[in-house]
């Protein structure tokens, strides 16, 4: 039996924790918040098949109809595009606090201990191995540290450089977000339930009209201030009379990673998971499904290490399986996302106007339902019809080239860990994405 520390009660950490405790390990989660304050004040949607993958029963009331999303261009004269929901897609929509409470209770039932209100400051490193965490209450040692502290993890940020784990997400690789839940004006017309507006500053505003509230999410690659949020809220409420002025919940600024996963996510005694390892679907920042899968994959790799060594070489199996099952696909989406800031709102408007992206394609891209093999073909088809938009055509030709280069790079992923090979992989992988962003 090993002593396993889960740092932060992130979704992937909780998933791994419950599986490792069920297998007989001593697992403790250290979380900076009070139990009641965990989970955002919002509802989230994700692919239900990730719960099936993790073997976590789906409680009654979680399954909801998939979100039919209507996209609005900045030009009000352009017809919006509504994405269809495939009949076979099983969607979950659930309050984050409810999901958090459910996963935490399953973890407790499996034997996981929780230490609430325990803020982690930094990792403890001895002899080249991560051997614990330093908290406000003191030093705590463990055989394995699972870093589920989210995008700004103080563990990841303070690891020694020789571990090859990137500390920061990098420019244009995360969204600045504001989320507010407002009252709903019952008497007003609502139009479509779920709308996304393209903003004139390369950002987006989501507005979801629920039975008893209106949920608004504003995102941008640049930092957003209160006056900008106020301006956006004003604009979106003018277009949506059902949105009331009273802020019922949330009203917080947050950050959402939208990039390829970490090049190297393990070290001796350490594994990053979820937002700590930038495991989100880059087209929109959804990370719950990836985290549930990653938690399952990590637990599998840890349990396979019967000697309980948890060195980078045994934990590499987690990284390898994650990349094969999820991460390489996530990289392709990140490549598409890297083009987004390159287009002005007017250029995006042209794409809408000429219906260059069909509603099905848009759905596949934002929901993660696209088939990996079809993405390069889809891009090539667009290139053929794009003679009138040379700028956009050039971007797509370049994207097709990057997709091809990525396919060539994939086999360089080391199938065994060594410091040298991990360092070479990291350099190749990071350079690839840095160059793609620079070229876009
Ligand atoms: C506004 C918004 C909307 C989103 N909507 C969706 C959606 O609809 N669907 C979807 O799939 N995903 C969505 N996501 C993304 C999703 O929240 C994450 O990708 C997913 O939860 C994985 O993140 P995590 O659990 O690893 O990290 P986090 O959710 O960041 O959790 C990290 C945990 O670690 C704790 N922690 C942090 N630092 C410390 C510390 N120093 N010491 C101790 N504890 C610490 C935090 O308190 C928190 O409990 C959304 C994110 C945001 C911000």
Three-state DSSP at 164 gives: coil
Of the CA atoms within 13 Å of residue 182, those in its CB half-sphere come to 24
For ligand 1, whether the C-beta of 256 sits within 6 Å is yes
Q: Quick one: 160 and 238 in the same domain?
A: no
Considering the domain boundaries, does residue 80 fall inside one? no
User: Which pLDDT does position 175 carry in this prediction?
Assistant: 95
Measured between alpha carbons, how far is 229 from 218 in angstroms, rounded to an integer? 7
Q: Quick one: 253 and 268 in the same domain?
A: no
Q: Single out the residue in 286, 308, 326 at which a domain terminates.
A: 326
Which atom of ligand 1 is nearest to 280's Cα? Answer: 19
Q: Quick one: 163 and 197 in the same domain?
A: no
Strands 26-30 and 113-115: parallel
For ligand 1, whether the C-beta of 297 sits within 6 Å is no
Of the CA atoms within 13 Å of residue 379, those in its CB half-sphere come to 25
Query: How far lies 85's CA from each of 68, 88, 150, 192, 218, in Å?
Result: 6, 9, 30, 14, 23
Considering the domain boundaries, does residue 415 fall inside one? yes
Residue 255: its H or E element: strand 243-257
CB distance 164 to 430 below 8 Å: no
**307-313 contacts, C-beta under 8 A, 24 or more apart:** 308/2, 308/143, 310/2, 310/143, 310/144, 310/268, 310/269, 311/129, 311/268, 311/269, 311/417, 312/266, 312/267, 312/268, 312/417, 312/419, 312/422, 313/416, 313/417, 313/418
Considering the domain boundaries, does residue 82 fall inside one? no
Q: Quick one: 135 and 47 in the same domain?
A: yes
Q: Quick one: 197 and 299 in the same domain?
A: no
User: Which pLDDT does position 440 carry in this prediction?
Assistant: 80
Count the Cβ atoms, other than its own, within 10 Å of residue 236: 21
Domain count, the chain: 3
Q: Quick one: 276 and 252 in the same domain?
A: no
Strands 91-95 and 69-72: unpaired
Q: What is the pTM of this model?
A: 0.95
Considering the domain boundaries, does residue 54 fall inside one? yes
Count the Cβ atoms, other than its own, within 10 Å of residue 427: 12
440 residues of the chain, pLDDT tens digit each:
999 999 999 999 999 999 999 999 999 999 999 999 999 999 999 999 999 999 999 999 999 988 888 988 888 888 888 888 877 889 999 999 999 999 999 999 999 999 999 999 999 999 999 999 999 889 999 999 999 999 999 999 999 999 999 999 998 899 999 999 999 999 998 889 999 998 887 789 999 999 999 999 999 999 999 999 999 999 999 999 999 999 999 999 999 999 999 999 999 999 999 999 999 999 888 999 999 999 999 999 999 999 999 999 999 999 999 999 999 999 999 998 998 877 777 777 777 777 777 777 777 776 666 666 677 777 777 777 777 777 778 888 888 899 999 999 999 999 999 999 999 999 999 999 999 999 88
Helix-, strand-, coil-residue percentages of the chain, each rounded to 5: 40, 25, 35
CB distance 45 to 67 below 8 Å: yes
Both tokens assigned to 312: 């980078």
Full residue range of the structural domain in which residue 281 is found: 3-66+90-167+259-326
Q: Quick one: 210 and 264 in the same domain?
A: no
Q: Quick one: 375 and 263 in the same domain?
A: no
Query: How far lies 398's CA from each of 99, 392, 413, in Å?
Result: 41, 10, 23
Q: Quick one: 21 and 103 in the same domain?
A: yes
Q: Quick one: 295 and 236 in the same domain?
A: no
Measured between alpha carbons, how far is 42 from 248 in angstroms, rounded to an integer? 11
CB distance 36 to 318 below 8 Å: no
Interval between CA 129 and ligand 1 midpoint (Å): 26
Measured between alpha carbons, how far is 234 from 44 in angstroms, rounded to an integer? 24
Given ligand 1 and candidates 124, 287, 368, which is best to mutate, with the most ligand atoms within 8 Å of its CB? Answer: 287
Interval between CA 210 and ligand 1 midpoint (Å): 23
Q: Quick one: 23 and 106 in the same domain?
A: yes
Q: Quick one: 245 and 288 in the same domain?
A: no
Which atom of ligand 1 is nearest to 291's Cα? Answer: 22
Domain of residue 116, CATH code: 3.50.50.60
CB distance 91 to 34 below 8 Å: no
User: Which pLDDT does position 371 carry in this prediction?
Assistant: 62
Measured between alpha carbons, how far is 204 from 21 in angstroms, rounded to an integer? 41
Which atom of ligand 1 is nearest to 39's Cα? Answer: 49
User: Which pLDDT does position 397 carry in this prediction?
Assistant: 85
Measured between alpha carbons, how far is 405 from 168 in angstroms, rounded to an integer? 25
Residues in Cβ contact with 119 at an 8 Å cutoff, skipping those fewer than 6 apart = 32, 135, 136
Both tokens assigned to 123: 């990792």
CB distance 2 to 143 below 8 Å: yes
CB distance 322 to 297 below 8 Å: yes
Interval between CA 439 and ligand 1 midpoint (Å): 31
Strands (E) located in 13-89: 26-30, 43-47, 63-64, 69-72, 81-82
Q: Single out the residue in 257, 283, 314 at which a domain terminates.
A: 257
Secondary structure (H, E, C), 307-322: CCCCCHHHHHHHHHHH
For ligand 1, whether the C-beta of 177 sits within 6 Å is yes
Q: Single out the residue in 272, 299, 326 at which a domain terminates.
A: 326
Three-state DSSP at 149 gives: coil
Considering the domain boundaries, does residue 78 fall inside one? no
Closest C-alpha to ligand 1, atom 25: 10
Three-state DSSP at 262 gives: coil
User: Which pLDDT does position 378 carry in this prediction?
Assistant: 75
Measured between alpha carbons, how far is 434 from 402 in angstroms, rounded to an integer? 12
Interval between CA 319 and ligand 1 midpoint (Å): 20
């Amino acid at each position: 039996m090993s002593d396993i520390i889960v740092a932060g009660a992130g979704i992937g950490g909780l998933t791994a924790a419950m599986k490792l405790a069920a297998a007989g390990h001593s697992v403790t989660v250290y979380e900076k918040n009070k139990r009641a304050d965990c989970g955002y004040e919002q509802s989230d949607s994700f692919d239900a098949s990730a719960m099936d993958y993790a073997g976590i029963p789906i409680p009654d009331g979680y399954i909801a109809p998939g979100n039919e999303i209507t996209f609005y261009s900045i030009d009000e004269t352009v017809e919006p595009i509504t994405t269809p929901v495939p009949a076979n897609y099983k969607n979950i929509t659930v309050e984050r606090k409810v999901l958090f409470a459910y996963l935490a209770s399953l973890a407790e039932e499996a034997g996981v201990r929780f230490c609430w209100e325990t803020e982690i400051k930094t990792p403890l490193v001895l002899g080249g191995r991560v051997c614990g965490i330093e908290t406000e209450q003191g030093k705590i040692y463990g055989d394995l540290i699972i870093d589920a502290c989210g995008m700004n993890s103080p563990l990841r940020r303070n690891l020694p450089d020789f571990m090859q784990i990137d500390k920061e997400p990098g420019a244009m690789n995360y969204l600045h977000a504001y989320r507010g839940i407002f009252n709903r004006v019952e008497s007003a017309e609502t139009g479509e339930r779920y709308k996304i507006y393209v903003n004139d500053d390369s950002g987006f505003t989501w507005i979801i009209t629920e039975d008893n509230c209106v949920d608004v999410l504003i995102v941008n690659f640049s930092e957003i201030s209160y006056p900008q949020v106020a301006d956006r809220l004003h604009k979106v409420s003018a277009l949506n009379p059902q949105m009331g002025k009273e802020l019922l919940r949330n009203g917080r600024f947050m950050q959402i990673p939208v990039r390829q996963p970490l090049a190297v996510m393990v070290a001796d005694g350490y594994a990053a998971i979820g937002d700590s390892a930038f495991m989100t679907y880059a087209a929109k920042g959804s990370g719950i499904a990836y985290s549930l899968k990653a938690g399952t994959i990590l637990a599998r790799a840890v349990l396979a290490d019967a000697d309980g060594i948890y060195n980078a070489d045994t934990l590499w199996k987690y990284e390898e399986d994650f990349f094969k099952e999820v991460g390489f696909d996530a990289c392709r989406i990140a490549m598409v996302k890297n083009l987004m800031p390159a287009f002005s709102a007017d250029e995006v408007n042209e794409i809408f106007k000429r219906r260059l992206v069909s509603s099905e394609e848009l759905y596949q891209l934002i929901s993660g339902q696209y088939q990996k093999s079809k993405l390069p073909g889809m891009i090539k088809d667009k290139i053929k019809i794009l003679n009138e938009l040379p700028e956009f055509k050039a971007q797509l030709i370049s994207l097709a080239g990057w997709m091809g280069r990525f396919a060539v790079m994939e086999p360089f992923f080391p199938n065994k860990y060594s410091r040298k090979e991990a360092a070479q992989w990291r350099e190749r992988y990071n350079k690839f994405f840095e160059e793609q962003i620079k070229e876009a």
